[in-house]
Structure 1
Amino acid sequence: EIPKPNGGVRTLGIPTTMDRVIQQATLQVLEPIFEPEFSEHSYGFRPKRSAHDGLRRAQQYVTAGYTWVVDMDLEKFFDRVNHDVLMSKLAKRIGDKRVLKLIRGYLTAGIMQDGVVIERMTGTPQGSPLSPLLSNIMLDELDKELEKRGHKFVRYADDCNIYVQSERAGQRVYGSLERYLKKKLRLQVNVEKSAVALVQERKFLGYRILNDGRLAVAPQSLVRAKDKIRTITKRNRGASFEQVIKRINTFLRGWLNYFKLASSAKLWQNLDGWIRRKLRCYRLKQRKGGSSLSKYLIQLGASEESARKLGSSGKGWWRLSRTQVVHKALSNKWLTEQVICPRFHGHYLMKLMQPFQTAWAPYILCCYAAFRCYKIPQCIQICFA
């Protein structure tokens, strides 16, 4: 079991090595059969399609005036997929009964939890190679129904957003789809997480779409990012400062790469400052206060009087990290020299990426555009030529 971002736990069904090999082989045979038939509005778990593609499609709808969204959340979708409904869809395209029997056996195989085998009557286990394809096969009928009705929508796995032009139209679509899913696919809509609202009031794939079509990082996504950084910088874990920076860099590269579509320079700047403050806290804590901290600050250029005063202070590390003495000693320049990789230090990102990779160009360009204090390097100009 792993924790969900919004609370609760998600049960993973991890197959054995042999089962994984068989499922992967089955996937390689079935995917070319079903993939061409899937809707162009479906973006989850599909080759040459990504969450960014789905977000760009959603942007087009919002820009065209479809500023209301029917946010449909299927309640425990992967755990409640009806086996009979799914197998009937597979049987329409697969003539070999041995393959159907194999898939049925995979669906009904029990899960061992704490040494006890738990039988499974519904659902397709997450964590297996075949599960993503089966989920798309199950929901393809929903896609076809939405296309038949002429709706503007984007679906990523079990996360489906339908874009309409008014709240009244959204309520009508919501009620109709709720009945359709229950009758045709035997799936339940999670009424607590589903809603009809303005696009900027909901999040989709970690983003928030503004009424003018621009993308922003959803508040929930920012909270989770900060929680992750708090975990990395816990001051009771005993990790060295270099190890902490390396872990933060690894996390930030992936996080920034996913949220590169967001246009919010102020958010990036605030996050950058917050991360630096967390790192200053970590560094101060390592010195444990007193004379050890005072000597360390003096080595970094702080005056003897101010360093000794701060070393004997009874304030917490978070408050001390904001003081002028600490900012002067542990300056942004010093932090950059410690191999920090925040969004706004494009000059250092280029130093990290040897040879230069064009994927980093948007981040670095944002850096120069936001601060307007550096000349844009030739390598970035070439990327956008």
Structure 2
Amino acid sequence: RGCKDALRRVDQAIKEGYRYVVDADIRAYFDNIDHERLKADVRESIADGRVLALIEAFLKQDVLESMKAWTPESGTPQGAVISPLLANLYLNGLDHAMAKAGYLMIRYADDFVVLCRSREEAEQALELVGHQVDQRGLSLHPEKTHVVDLEEAGAGFDFLGYHFTRTKHWPRKKSLKKLKDAIRQKTRRTNGASLQRIIRDVNRSLRGWMEYFKHSSRWTFPRLDSWVRRRLRSILRKRSGRKGISRGRDHNRWPNVFFERHGLYSLVAAHRAMLQSSTG
């Protein structure tokens, strides 16, 4: 199962009344995977000798290294399917132990949460997680592992690039920063490319990001659209040679419709179209 399926399951569980969440973080997961133990896990799961040989060859190339800097919104890591497959396989024992004990755990690679209906259940689940992780030669990060009560004011947790609360979910801060950093690189005021070329480059980043975060709370998108237009107006102001023009005057000179006519991708419009297609 992929990221999007895991996100849907978390969203559904919260709607069903799972109030307490074990938000756990495994310390330096990809640095601490025992390759010999992983090979043993692979041999237990796969009988085809040719496939086993192929996977062992991948491990010799340190294919798991490509997962260290991977984020779900960034797409498939180097090594294609094999990296997340192996990363998932190493914690299969944790999945089985939690399911056997009756807990609802949702996981992708080393990112996982356990959803519970009571604090007592959550504390017990956290204890079992710690024990199972320790058996795999891993450890939980004490400062990043805790039980979240979604009924508390401001309570929430991060999972697979999103931040979840009891009623809403949106891109976590790191996910927003990653997009904005990419846009900043493409909209530097010293960028000598044509506006059309800059907009094409920006659109590629926006479309890829939207594909993953299109199910965010609707207020996410107008804020980002506005921020992107401000970046482009800054370029246009510099090229016009008019210094010190206020943001309001920038908006009057280059209104939103100006960027629409130049083909700028709109997150708001894309989100609206998605909602219409899902209800139509």
Q: Decide: shared fold, TM above 0.5.
A: yes
Q: In the alignment, is residue 189 of structure 1 matched against residue 140 of structure 2? A: yes
Separation in structure 2 between the aligned mates of residue 175 and residue 274 of structure 1, nearest angstrom: 44
Q: Is the 8 A contact 1:58 1:153 kept in 2?
A: no
Of 201, 205, 211, 2:160 maps to 205
Structure 1 match to 2:264: 340
Separation in structure 1 between the aligned mates of residue 192 and residue 103 of structure 2, nearest angstrom: 54
Separation in structure 1 between the aligned mates of residue 102 and residue 127 of structure 2, nearest angstrom: 16
Assess, with a 3 A threshold, how the Cα gap between structure 1 residues 60 and 246 changes in structure 2: closer, same or farther. Answer: same
1:1-385 alignment runs, 5 A limit: 43=1, 50-95=2-47, 100=52, 103-109=55-61, 124-126=64-66, 127-129=78-80, 130-183=82-135, 185-199=136-150, 200-212=155-167, 214-264=168-218, 266-287=219-240, 289=241, 311=242, 313=243, 315=244, 320-324=245-249, 326-344=250-268, 346=269, 362-364=271-273, 384-385=279-280
TM-score, length of structure 1 as denominator length: 0.62
Residue type of the alignment partner of 2:147 = V
Larger radius of gyration: 1
Q: Is the 8 A contact 1:181 1:187 kept in 2?
A: yes
Separation in structure 2 between the aligned mates of residue 260 and residue 162 of structure 1, nearest angstrom: 24
Q: Is the 8 A contact 1:81 1:124 kept in 2?
A: no
3-state DSSP class of the match of 1:188?
A: coil
Assess, with a 3 A threshold, how the Cα gap between structure 1 residues 102 and 215 changes in structure 2: closer, same or farther. Answer: closer
3-state DSSP class of the match of 1:256?
A: helix
Separation in structure 1 between the aligned mates of residue 200 and residue 213 of structure 2, nearest angstrom: 20
Assess, with a 3 A threshold, how the Cα gap between structure 1 residues 176 and 94 changes in structure 2: closer, same or farther. Answer: closer
Assess, with a 3 A threshold, how the Cα gap between structure 1 residues 143 and 275 changes in structure 2: closer, same or farther. Answer: same
Separation in structure 2 between the aligned mates of residue 365 and residue 85 of structure 1, nearest angstrom: 44
Separation in structure 1 between the aligned mates of residue 179 and residue 27 of structure 2, nearest angstrom: 25
Deviates more, 1:160-169 or 1:87-96: 87-96
> How large is the RMSD of aligned CA atoms in angstroms?
2.6
Q: Is the 8 A contact 1:71 1:194 kept in 2?
A: yes
3-state DSSP class of the match of 1:162?
A: strand
Q: Highest relative contact order (Cα 8 Å, sep 6+), 1 or 2?
A: 2
TM-score, length of structure 2 as denominator length: 0.83
Residue type of the alignment partner of 1:252 = L
Q: Is the 8 A contact 1:260 1:363 kept in 2?
A: no
Using the aligned pairs only, state the percent identity: 31
What are structure 2's unaligned runs of at least 5 residues? 67-77
Separation in structure 1 between the aligned mates of residue 274 and residue 59 of structure 2, nearest angstrom: 48
Separation in structure 1 between the aligned mates of residue 34 and residue 56 of structure 2, nearest angstrom: 11
Return the offset for 1:102. Answer: 5.6
What are structure 1's unaligned runs of at least 5 residues? 1-42, 44-49, 112-122, 290-310, 347-359, 367-379
Aligned length: 264
